[in-house]
Amino acid sequence: MKARTMGRHLRESLKSLGRNSWMTFASVSAVTVTLLLVGVFIVIMMNLNQLADNLENDVEIKVIADPAADEAAVKELEKQVRSTSGVEEVVYSSRDEELDKMIKSFGDELSLYKQSNPLGDALYVKAKDPHDTASIAKKIDTYDYTSQVVYGEGKVEKLFKVLNMSRNIGMVLILALLFTAMFLISNTIRLTIVARGREIEIMKLVGATNSFVRIPFVLEGIWLGVLGSIIPMAVISFSYYELYEQWEPKLQNELFQLLHAMPFILQVNGLLLFMGVFIGMWGSFMSVRKFLKI
C-alpha cells in the first residue's frame, strides 16, 4: 500500500469520527463506562490480592528449642533449619528475649522467672512459599533438640483456602466483566457500522479491495478505544493517587498496605488503554467483515 493511501485512511478515519459524531459519542460512552468499571474493579482486586499476599507472608513457624539444649546444640539446630529446603528466613530469639516478650504481654508478675528461665531459645521460620509451611514444620519437628513446633495448624490451611478461593472468584469476575465489556463495546461499534453498510457497499461496487474498506474502520475503532479510555484513565489515576496520599500514612503498621501509586497507576492505565484499543479494533474488524461479502 502506498504511503499516500495510508495517509488517506488516517484522514478518513478521523473525518468519519466527526461526520458520525452521534455514533462516535455512543461508542466512546460505551467504552468509557465499561473501562471505568473494569478499571475500578482491577484496582480493588489488585489491592485485595496484595492483602492476601501479605496475610500469607505473615504466616511463620515458631520452633522452640529444648530448654535443656546448650548453646552449641541450638546453633546446630539453627544451621539444620536454615538448610531445610523451602526455608527463606530464620530469626533467632534467645530464651531471655522470649521471656521479655512474655513479660511484655502478660505482665510483670512473670519477672520472677528471670531467676530461672524455663523457656527455650526460639527460631522464627518463614517459608519461601507460604503454602509449604505445614510440611516444613513437620520436617523441623523431626530434628533433635526441638521441643515444640508451632505454626497455627488448621488455621493456616483454612486461611490459604479462603484466600485461594477469593483470588479465583476475583479472577472470574474480572474475566466476566472484560467479556461483557468487549461484547457491549463491539456491539455499539457494530451498530455504528451497520448504519454505514451502504457506504461499504458503494465502496465495494466501485472496486475497493477489502483491506481498503476495512482499514479506515479499524483505525476508527482504535480512535474510539483511545478516546473512550481517556476518562477512565484520568479518573482512576487521580482517585487512586488521592486515596494513596490520604491513606498510606495511616496504614503504616497495618497488615493491609495499598499498592504504591507508582508504577501501579501506570500499569492500570496501560492495561486500560490496551483494552480500549484492542476492543475498538476487534469490534470494527469483526463488524465490517459482514459487509464485505458484496
Partner 1 sequence: MIVMKDVYKKYPNGVVAANGINVEINRGEFVYVVGPSGAGKSTFIKMMYREESPTKGDILINGINLATLRNKRVPLLRRQIGVVFQDFKLLPKLNVYENVAFALEVIEESPKVIRKRVNEVLALVGLTQKARMFPNELSGGEQQRVSIARSIVNVPKVVIADEPTGNLDPDTSWEIMRIFEQINALGTTIVMATHNKEIVNTMRHRVLVVDGGMITRDEDEGVYGYES
CB of 217 to partner 1, least distance (A): 14
Report yes or no: 280 and 222 within 8 Å, Cβ to Cβ.
yes
How far apart are the C-alpha atoms of 165 and 169, rounded to whole Å?
6
For partner 1, the closer CB: 4 or 250: 4
CB of 20 to partner 1, least distance (A): 8
For partner 1, the closer CB: 5 or 246: 5
For partner 1, the closer CB: 8 or 131: 8
Place of cell 469476575: 173
For partner 1, the closer CB: 79 or 198: 198
Burial class (CB in 10 A: 0-12, 13-18, 19+), 108: exposed
Report yes or no: 24 and 224 within 8 Å, Cβ to Cβ.
yes
CB of 16 to partner 1, least distance (A): 8
Report yes or no: 279 and 185 within 8 Å, Cβ to Cβ.
yes
Q: Binding residues for partner 1, per CB under 8 A?
A: 1-2, 4-5, 8, 19, 198-199, 201-210, 212, 294
CB of 1 to partner 1, least distance (A): 8
For partner 1, the closer CB: 112 or 206: 206
Three-state secondary-structure class, residue 107? coil
Report yes or no: 43 and 105 within 8 Å, Cβ to Cβ.
no
For partner 1, the closer CB: 9 or 65: 9
Write the single-letter amino acid at 199.
Answer: E
Tell me which residue of 249, 277, 207 sits closest to 31, measured CA to CA: 277
How far apart are the C-alpha atoms of 20 and 15, rounded to whole Å?
9
For partner 1, the closer CB: 217 or 244: 217
CB of 221 to partner 1, least distance (A): 19
How far apart are the C-alpha atoms of 260 and 242, rounded to whole Å?
12
CB atoms inside a 10 Å sphere around CB 276: 29
How far apart are the C-alpha atoms of 231 and 35, rounded to whole Å?
9
CB of 199 to partner 1, least distance (A): 6
| All cell numbers assigned to 244 | 494513596
For partner 1, the closer CB: 16 or 27: 16
CB of 204 to partner 1, least distance (A): 8
Peptide bond into 249 cis (omega under 30): no
CB of 203 to partner 1, least distance (A): 7
